[in-house]
Amino acid sequence: MSGRIIFSGPSGAGKTSAIDVASDIPAIWKGNADYGAMTLDDGGVIHLCSSACETATGVSGDDSLGLILLIDNRRTAPDDDLLRHLRSFDAFIRRTAVAVGITHMDQQPRPRIDLFHTVMSYAGHGGMPLFEVDARDRRDICLLVEAMVSVLDPVACA
């Protein structure tokens, strides 16, 4: 599998960190987005880029595999942030897939993860992966990417 994964989420959530730790090449900042790339076990290359919203350049390309949303738990209403981003990317997600990582839970453990699962169900994405991540941790981000890829191709990841 090859293609592009979009990272989005509020400023400070960890987009730049996540692309940097997951990328096999040094991540770069170009225009108004971070870019990186990672190689999958099957030899496919996944391009990683950040984007503020669905209408931003790069999101609507045919080779977009899906969206990774990073939500900063330190913010006032991170559940609202999640819902807003799910709505902002709604058409894109319905065409592709989404996986959500809640960041900064080491600094702010509340609200707890259950609330975000509730928001996902409410938005109609209850089956999509969602878990706590530290955007600075390569293993956490690779797990998130793999979780998203497994939604697209369950057989390849079996």
Ligand X SMILES: Nc1nc2c(ncn2[C@@H]2O[C@H](COP(=O)(O)OP(=O)(O)O)[C@@H](O)[C@H]2O)c(=O)[nH]1
What is the C-alpha to C-alpha distance for residues 22 and 45, in angstroms, rounded to an integer?
12
Question: In the complex, what is the shortest distance from the CB of residue 30 to ligand X, in angstroms, rounded to a whole number?
Answer: 14
Query: Can you tell me the distance from the alpha carbon of 144 to that of 134, in angstroms, rounded to the nearest whole number?
Result: 11
Candidate residues 16, 23, 64, 73; the one interacting with Mg ion per rule CB under 5 A? 16
Question: Which pair of tokens denotes residue 155?
Answer: 């057989």
For Mg ion, give the closer residue by CB, 15 or 85.
15
Q: Minimum Å distance from CB 33 to Mg ion?
A: 9
Binding partner of 85, given Mg ion, ligand X, none, CB within 5-8 angstroms per partner class:
none
> Which lies closer to Mg ion via its Cβ, residue 32 or residue 121?
32
What are the percentages of helix, strand and coil residues in the chain, rounded to 5?
30, 25, 45
Site residues (CB under 6 A) for ligand X, limited to 62-121: 103-104, 106-107
Which of 16, 23, 51, 64 contacts ligand X by CB under 6 A?
16
Total number of residues that touch ligand X (CB under 6 A) = 15
- In terms of Cβ atoms closer than 10 Å to its own Cβ (0-12, 13-18, 19+), residue 99 is buried
Partner interacting with residue 145 (select from Mg ion, ligand X, none; CB below 5-8 Å by kind): none
Does the footprint of ligand X cover residue 149 (CB under 6 A)?
no
Q: What is the C-alpha to C-alpha distance for residues 96 and 29, in angstroms, rounded to an integer?
A: 25
Question: Which residues contact residue 105 at a Cβ distance below 8 angstroms, ignoring those fewer than 6 apart?
Answer: 73, 113, 132
C-beta of 23: minimal distance to ligand X in Å? 13
The nearest distance, CB 42 to ligand X, in angstroms, is: 28
